[in-house]
Structure 1
């Protein structure tokens, strides 16, 4: 029998405004922290936290019961799939099982800051035309030797932030912005459940960039904005380092996404920038995750043209194209 069984339920909230949905698979120590961060939201409206475990043999709910006092009286549900359905199909199951009008996906190793829900809905309350809202995020680098940020990188980061938001608090995310950069995975993103389902949810055949493809589909149909505040933490741990094969897959998918952005109305001449963009992505990602993959290797593997990484030239072109 397919589907999911509810191991912990009887949520006291019948019709929550918000569902914080956590797909999980064999990361109990991280899941505990994610659940605590979700339940700890300082929010004035009813919400629920729902976990959908993709391991049919898991007893993760018992570990949570032991570790979280009063879990049974919290707005919390725990479901377990009867079979492993895959990462992104489990995202969709989380959405199907959510009872809230609005829904967000929280990865089981990431964290919501206590004020995330309150501040996001404060923006949504003043801007009723917004259909989806993404917040900014911080890296929680818990590796044995985390990547530091020197003075030049810090200055560059602040400059990019100003180019993105100026003196405002939000910016529109559309195909032109997504051509240059995805605003990140879906942690911290919130939208109406019906709208997420209307664009087809998350697609397994778009792995490992299903979130980037999702934003492109959502932004075509609905009004998608990013909020300036940093309200979530993305965990970087030793066990999350990417394999070279994943870098090749990411490069291929991002090439496909940028081509799709051009088809969605981005200036066609921007296609000439794809070799520079691919080179920058490969160098930045391989440096951050310490995986020895070069632009030349990616070009040969994927059969695409990749040039030498020239970050200053690309940064200048991006600024001129208002790609921030």
Structure 2
């Protein structure tokens, strides 16, 4: 099922891609936040990976020529839908927005300023605030750690890249993936790894840094990232499976960047302190909910040897 844009004119400069699955109301709020952007140099593409019966009709009634809507014939999963969105992107730059996040009205203004000031930059990380499931501004432990321990301190507009940025992100990923604007011709040939289900965003960033791409920082806040509470009812959250994937990625990456002579980045990847800390914070809840095997797995990941 497809409702393509009928807008005439030249190719947009920005493709806003919205891979959708889940809450209908939050998705609609996300769409409205994109429609509030200034300028006529952007297009919104929604790729629906779900089966909510009301969604196609809502987009058809929207009738906005700046919006394309596609529904997948079969469920592709998170990474598969990300790659489907990339296939549909043709603009110079793209944003892979979360379907429960919100652009502020100044988002594209901030991003335009960054790409105009830094021609050819591969990624733009604008300023972000964090909201909870109800839309209230919040400051979780994860975000506080990102800001205080890993993110650049008091940055103005700046450009980062190479081993320094790689090492910092491998110590602790302080980026907010759904808020990033990417240069399409850098991202599309790489895509998202099908063998990763949780850490595919950091994997893409590392691929770009190894290829020589740079990241522009624009600290003006223009995006709300929604942080949902960990679901205590989900046993999967406490099995440690996500951390097994993370360990594999970090150790593979350590070998890869060491071959480039990036010794500090390789050391950061082998230790991967931030993901170990995350695993350790889940142990008390796993024990309280009776997931003893999961608690042992999480503890082993957090406290076990860093190297193979």
Smaller-chain TM-score bracket: 0.7 to 0.9
2:54 pairs with 1:54: no
Q: How far apart are the structure 1 equivalents of 2:8 and 2:70? A: 16
Q: Which runs of 5+ in 1 are unaligned?
A: 309-324
Aligned counterparts, 1:266-277, within 5 A: 266-267=263-264, 268-270=266-268, 273-274=271-272, 276-277=273-274
In structure 2, relative to structure 1, the CA distance for the partners of 1:147 and 1:112 (3 Å cut) is: closer
TM-aligned CA deviation for residue 143 of structure 1:
5.5
2:158 pairs with 1:164: no
Deviations 1:60-107 (A, max 9, x none): 1312455xxxx3244111111111122211111112112322111111
Q: How far apart are the structure 2 equivalents of 1:177 and 1:187? A: 19
Q: Which runs of 5+ in 2 are unaligned?
A: none
Aligned counterparts, 1:93-132, within 5 A: 93-132=84-123
Aligned 8 A contact 2:279 2:299 in 1: no
Deviations 1:270-302 (A, max 9, x none): 46744x544422245x49xx95379x9768427
**3-state SS, counterpart of residue 94 of structure 1:** helix
Q: How far apart are the structure 2 equivalents of 1:214 and 1:278? A: 17
Aligned 8 A contact 2:172 2:274 in 1: no
**3-state SS, counterpart of residue 257 of structure 1:** helix
TM-aligned CA deviation for residue 236 of structure 1:
3.1
Q: How many residues align?
A: 289
Residue equivalent to 2:205:
215
Q: TM-score, normalised by structure 2?
A: 0.78
In structure 2, relative to structure 1, the CA distance for the partners of 1:192 and 1:293 (3 Å cut) is: farther
Aligned 8 A contact 1:16 1:47 in 2: yes
Residue equivalent to 2:82:
91
Aligned 8 A contact 2:5 2:65 in 1: no
Q: TM-score, normalised by structure 1?
A: 0.75
**3-state SS, counterpart of residue 22 of structure 1:** strand
2:224 pairs with 1:252: no
Aligned 8 A contact 1:112 1:232 in 2: yes
Deviations 1:144-192 (A, max 9, x none): 9996679xx97x877558x714453235253212211223452111122
Residue equivalent to 1:35:
31
**3-state SS, counterpart of residue 244 of structure 2:** helix
Aligned counterparts, 1:148-227, within 5 A: 160=149, 164-173=152-161, 174-199=165-190, 201-225=191-215, 226-227=217-218
Residue equivalent to 1:311:
none
TM-aligned CA deviation for residue 110 of structure 1:
0.9
Note the aligned Cα RMSD (angstroms): 3.6
TM-aligned CA deviation for residue 15 of structure 1:
0.6
Q: How far apart are the structure 2 equivalents of 1:269 and 1:26? A: 38
**3-state SS, counterpart of residue 302 of structure 2:** coil
TM-aligned CA deviation for residue 196 of structure 1:
1.0
